């Protein structure tokens, strides 16, 4: 999971302006409806959030914000982080029968997702799951100020508490019990174990790239370009699993004579 800064969306982009104007109109109509059934029916017929997907892809690349796998050539989903129809905890117990319907047309609630993370698959899949911190209340119209258990790619501190081990499995790098619990629940809900082999492969590729760089750095520093390109191709933010590549490389170069050389590519 990498950090997604939604403020990077260009608000002067004609496509963005056009979509937001449509979203405002749909939300105004949705606000006039009094029942869950009416709202659910309206949203099913006016799902314009999928029209926002090209904007998200253009800005952040073709990969899932939850798993970091590629969605190139696949359908891909625009997930409502706070579910629009109803919300449940990770066990399927209903929290908000009506969901966060008032956020249905708010792009700040959208997360670009692969199908394995967003839909029912194996023992996981987000669907309408949105567990809250024990002892806290769900948000009510028109707010979104409740305390989410699921790690959010749009919250930088959430992204910073996970890494993967040598097998590719997601682990918590925080000692806080609540953080450890959040990572465990997110791992199940987002189906992160489905991508263990891909993350393991990234670690191995990073290891090889660093070994190649170190050899070139010592014996032929004037011919480092291919070795540098090998590393930069792994840490490019739009490349699958790049956040794990960045963490791995960042830790492995500490104290190395070439640390400052590589560190500039991790900024």
* Bridge partners of residue 162, in order along the sequence: 172
The answer to whether 76 touches 113, Cβ cutoff 8 Å, is yes
Residues 182 and 238 in one domain: no
Give the pLDDT score at 73: 66
Residues 150 and 210 in one domain: no
Q: Which tens digits make up the pLDDT trace of 162-215?
A: 999 999 999 999 999 999 999 999 999 999 999 999 999 999 999 999 999 999
Long-range contacts of 96-101 (CB under 8 A, 24+ apart): 96/130, 96/138, 97/36, 98/36, 98/39, 99/128, 100/130, 100/139, 100/144, 101/30, 101/36, 101/39, 101/43, 101/141
Does some domain include residue 110?
A: yes
Give the pLDDT score at 225: 87
- If one counts the domains in the chain, the total is 2
The answer to whether 228 touches 265, Cβ cutoff 8 Å, is yes
Parent domain of 33: 6-155+174-190
Residues 181 and 254 in one domain: no
Give the pLDDT score at 4: 96
Does some domain include residue 164?
A: no
Residues 214 and 103 in one domain: no
pTM: 0.92
The first and second tokens of residue 228, run together, are 């540098």
Looking at 163, 190, 217, the residue that finishes a domain is 190
Distance separating the N- and C-terminal Cα atoms of the chain: 17
Does some domain include residue 210?
A: yes
Residues 144 and 225 in one domain: no
Residues 246 and 204 in one domain: yes
Residues 50 and 133 in one domain: yes
Residues 45 and 118 in one domain: yes
Residues 206 and 180 in one domain: no
Residues 130 and 224 in one domain: no
Low-confidence stretches of the chain (pLDDT beneath 70) = 73-74
Does some domain include residue 166?
A: no
Residues 119 and 214 in one domain: no
């Amino acid at each position: 999971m990498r950090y997604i800064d939604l403020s990077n969306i260009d608000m002067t982009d004609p496509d963005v302006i056009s979509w937001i104007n449509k979203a405002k109109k749909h939300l105004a109509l949705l606000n006039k409806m009094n029942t869950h059934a009416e709202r659910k029916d309206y949203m099913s017929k006016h799902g314009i959030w999928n029209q926002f997907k090209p904007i998200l892809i253009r800005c952040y690349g073709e990969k899932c914000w939850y798993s970091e796998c590629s969605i190139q050539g696949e359908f891909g989903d625009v997930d409502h982080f706070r579910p629009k129809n109803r919300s449940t905890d990770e066990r399927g117990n209903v929290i908000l029968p009506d969901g966060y319907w008032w956020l249905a047309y708010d792009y700040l609630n959208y997360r670009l997702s692969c199908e394995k993370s967003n839909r029912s698959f194996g023992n996981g899949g987000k669907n309408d799951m949105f567990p809250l911190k024990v002892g806290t209340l769900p948000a009510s119209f028109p707010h979104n100020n409740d305390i989410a258990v699921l790690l959010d790619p749009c919250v930088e501190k959430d992204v910073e508490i996970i890494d993967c081990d040598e097998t590719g499995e997601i682990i918590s790098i925080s000692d806080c019990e609540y953080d450890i619990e959040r990572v465990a629940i997110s791992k199940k809900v987002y189906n992160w174990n489905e991508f263990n082999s891909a993350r393991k492969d990234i670690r191995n590729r990073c290891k090889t790239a660093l070994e190649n760089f170190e050899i070139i750095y010592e014996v032929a520093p004037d011919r480092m370009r291919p070795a540098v390109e090998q590393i930069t191709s792994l840490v490019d933010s739009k490349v699958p699993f790049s956040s794990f590549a960045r963490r791995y490389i960042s830790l492995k170069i500490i104290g190395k004579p070439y640390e400052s050389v590589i560190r500039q590519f991790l900024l």
